[in-house]
Structure 1
Amino acid sequence: MSKRDELDINQQQLADAWRSTLPNWILAGDRAAVLPDESDAKSLRVTIDTAGHQMYSFDFKVTYVDSREVRVTLIDVEKDNRTVDERTEIIQQLVQDYTRHIHECAQALKELTHA
């Protein structure tokens, strides 16, 4: 039997790696914050603040399914510190874009996460 393909890296090291890598995958001017998820050792909390006048803030939970694959869950979208309707076309487009960027970042980090 082969060993399951599990994430084997310190959560803080992982958050640090994401913090330095994710800005390469999002739009210039957007800001990203990455923190360990205190309730789940296999997850990170990613907040992306959009550049420009829109002032949207997207909160995602990024969970490692295994050492290479992540599941991205949208937690909340805010504008000017108020929760907004996530079903609008512009929000949905941004969520899709950021979800794709998060997956691309996970791929870029696979050398680190896939032992």
Structure 2
Amino acid sequence: MYDLVNDVERYPEFVTYCSSAEVIKSNSQEMLARLDLKKAGVNFNVLTRNKLNPPLGIDMVLEEGPFNVLDGRWTFSEVNESASKVSFELDYEFKSFALHALASKLLTNIIIDLVDMICRRADFLYLK
């Protein structure tokens, strides 16, 4: 599951609101990645610095985007040989109240959808 979540460049293939994804630079310890997101007429992009801790987790910190704060954490733990527990936490604060009013509920739905799409992608790839 760690590899699936960390394969940011493939997000446009299965994350319906991700129009493009680019890894700016990457090494074994961190990744700088940009996502362009479009949903319900709202478009924005985020650039995050992701601290990599395979296979246990990924910590994300905002570098650029419409937020004052965007900190996230993916955690992965094995339940058994054929199942894993995946958790995603995200703290965010928009730069403007107007954007918060417009997009806060939308972002909540994006987060829920993202976890669901990751799990469906895992089923497709690993439960063939």
TM-score by length of 1: 0.49
Greater RCO, CA 8 A, separation 6+: 1
TM-score by length of 2: 0.45
